[in-house]
Structure 1
Amino acid sequence: MDPVLKVRDVCLSYHTLSGETPALSHISFDLMPGEFLSIVGPSGCGKSTLLNLIAGLIEPECGSITLKGKTVSSGSTSVGYMLQKDHLLEWRSIYKNILLGLEIRGELTPEKLAHAEELLHTYGLDRFRDARPSQLSGGMRQRAALIRTLVLEPELLLLDEPFSALDYQTRLNVSDDIGKILKSSGKPAILVTHDISEAISMADQVLVLSARPATVQKVVDIHLSVEKRTPLTSRNAPDFKKYFNLIWKELNKNA
């Protein structure tokens, strides 16, 4: 089976009047179909920059990024991007917010609208279709933001700390919900997070980046001995602590 995403020898530096700041140094990894990858690393090491490169929002100075064999470029509609804030528009209903991307693309076809209805029903937001974003909890808003992304049927989903603004209990519940949604959809996904437990509980692999300029310090395959694994049940696995300690040590090697 071929990787859906190939990142090869990617480098990037920021250029300002005061000089050049290396951000990413020779980053390489693969993402397989249906796989969930978490990325962790020290603050400011370039995790979000890496997602922006994969999304085609910026170009690498060297190396290549291909999605299903095609070079990722600006304006690509193959990548869905879920940010820290849900960016729902208050003057639109939840249903209208979910249709925003389709509306912008001119894809409000009967088939796409039926798919939107299916997602609303499947993920428990059909009762809130006419509500405004401010009438929903933070967790429900994030679910709406995810449906808005999934209705575009991206080939890859990027998540940049989408749960960081939520309180701890809500964060656990929403990450569990979204983890289940992504597994059922079969979409490959990449999550950037500062939370080691969250990274382990949601991922098939954890990519550990070094301090800036970021390099791939270690790739950890996650195999938890738990039946019917979900992000919440993963945290109760006997070997969860082993993975946590391993990744913690990697992050603090050069501290």
Structure 2
Amino acid sequence: MKPLLEIRDVSLSYHTSAGETPALSHLTFDLMPGEFLAVVGPSGCGKSTLLNLICGLLSAEEGTILMNDTVPSPGDPRIGYMLQKDHLLEWRTIYQNVTLGLEIRRELTHAKLEYIEEMLCTYGLDKFRNARPSQLSGGMRQRAALIRTLALKPELLLLDEPFSALDYQTRLNVSDDIGRILKKEGKPAILVTHDISEAISMADRVIILTKRPATVARIVTIDLGLTDRTPLSSRNAPQFKSYFNLIWKELNQYV
């Protein structure tokens, strides 16, 4: 099977008047269709920079990034991007927020609006369609942000610590919800996180980066032996602790 996304020997440095700061060094990995990757690494190693390169907001100084054999461009419609904050607009209702991307792209078609209606009902937001973002909990806001992203029918979803602002219990529930949603929608995704447990519970493979300039230290394939795996059920698997210790030991070299 051909990879959906190919990262080949990618390097990037930031340049300022004070000098050059290497961020990423010769990264190479693939993302297969339908696969969920998680990326972990020390703080400041360039994890978010990697996502910005993948979606075309930054250009690599060396190497290539190809999605279905073409280079991603800024605003690439094939790629959805969820940031740490939900960035819902307070002066718009939840319904107006989730349709914002379609409105900007002038794609408010009957079929896509029906798709939004289905997601609002399925994920418990239909009764809050006329509410303002400040009236919703953090978890509900993140669900709204995900619906807004999925409404555009991206081929790839990038997640930059989308649960980090939530309390622990809400974080577990929302990550489980979003994991189930992505599995149901069949969306390949790349999650950047500092949370090892989150990475193991959600991902098919975990990419471990070194300290800056980041290289790929190791790629760990997660096989928990579960037939109907969810993020919450993954945490109860007997093998979960072993994967946690393996990744923790690898990361601890770079602290």
What interval of TM-score do these two structures reach, taking the shorter chain for normalisation?
Answer: over 0.9
Residue 198 of structure 1 corresponds to: 198
State the one-letter code of the partner of 2:217. Q
Deviations 1:162-212 (A, max 9, x none): 000000000000000000000110000000000000000000000000000
- Distance in 1 separating the partners of 2:208 and 2:71: 24
1:111 is aligned to 2:95: no
Structure 2 letter corresponding to 1:91: W
Alignment partners' CA distance in 2, 1:84 and 1:254: 24
Q: Tell me, which stretches of 5 or more residues in structure 1 are unaligned? A: none
TM-score by length of 1: 0.98
Q: What residue number does 2:146 align with? A: 146
Match of residue 75 from structure 1: 75
Aligned residue for 1:128? 128
Structure-1 separation of matches of 2:244 and 2:152: 35
Cα distance change of structure 1 residues 176 and 20 upon mapping to structure 2, 3 Å threshold? same
Q: 1:95-149, CA deviations, whole angstroms, 9 ceiling, x for partnerless residues?
A: 0000000000011111111111111112121111111111111000000000000
Partner of 1:8: 8
Other structure's SS at 1:71 match = coil
Structure 2: which amino acid aligns with 1:158? Answer: L
Instruction: Please state whether the residue corresponding to 1:28 is helix, strand or coil.
Output: strand
Which residue identity lines up with residue 44 of structure 2 in the other structure? G
* Separation of aligned partners in 2, 1:21 and 1:254: 18
1:62-110 Cα offsets, whole Å, 9 max, x none, are: 1111111111122311110000000001111100000000000011111
Checking the alignment, whether the CA contact within 8 Å between 1:225 and 1:238 is kept in structure 2 is no
C-alpha separation in 1, matches of 2:106 and 2:247: 44
Partner of 1:61: 61
Q: Which moved more, 1:128-137 or 1:203-212?
A: 128-137
Counterpart for residue 237 of structure 1: 237
**1:229-252: CA deviation from partner (whole Å, max 9, x where unpaired):** 100010000000000000001101
Identity of aligned residues (%): 73
- Which residue identity is paired with 1:220? V
Instruction: Answer yes or no: is the 8 Å Cα contact 1:36–1:205 preserved in 2.
Output: yes
Give the match's secondary structure for 2:90.
Answer: coil
Which SS does the other structure have where 1:66 is aligned?
strand
Q: Secondary structure at the match of 1:57?
A: coil
How many residues align? The count is: 255
- Alignment match, 2:84: 84
Matches of 2:203 and 2:4, distance apart in 1? 16
1:93-104 equivalent positions in 2, closer than 5 A = 93-104=93-104
User: Equivalent residue for 1:25?
Assistant: 25
Matches of 1:166 and 1:124, distance apart in 2: 18
Q: Unaligned regions of 5+ residues in structure 2, if any?
A: none
